[in-house]
Structure 1
Amino acid sequence: MQSQNNYLRQWLPKQKSYLYHLLDQEALPENRRCFIYNQNGVYKCQDCLGEPLYCTGCCRSQHQYNPFHWIS
């Protein structure tokens, strides 16, 4: 059985990797194109699979029946 200190020792070398992964999830992708019409994507849905980018019209039409999705 491992103690808390052993778990922390295993985690500390991986700390930077986890931080970079979390920050990458927050950043917009380099290709900022709409998932559907290849226009300028300005909205990112964090509840849709893959967190796609949408233009204004596509975001409205895709989320007409999903009003509780988290859009940023």
Structure 2
Amino acid sequence: MEEHHGARVAQALAGRLQVAIEKKEWSVAELSRQSGVARYTITKALTGEAWPDLLTIANLEKALGVDLWPGREV
């Protein structure tokens, strides 16, 4: 059975988010402070338990200075 495209997108986004946090050497709490996104929301995105909305993704991207959305490559 083929993996759902949406699941691949969520996994790719979570992976990019984790790498960006590590590169900045930030904690989830620090990213929350810098982005205005709740720690709970960031944690859920990292674990794949929730899909962040577009505004949340935009706020995380702005704070981290990276693109998180994987685009068509997944």
TM-score under structure 2 length normalisation? 0.30
Higher relative contact order (CA 8 A, sep 6+): 2
Larger Rg: 1
TM-score under structure 1 length normalisation? 0.30
Higher helix share: 2
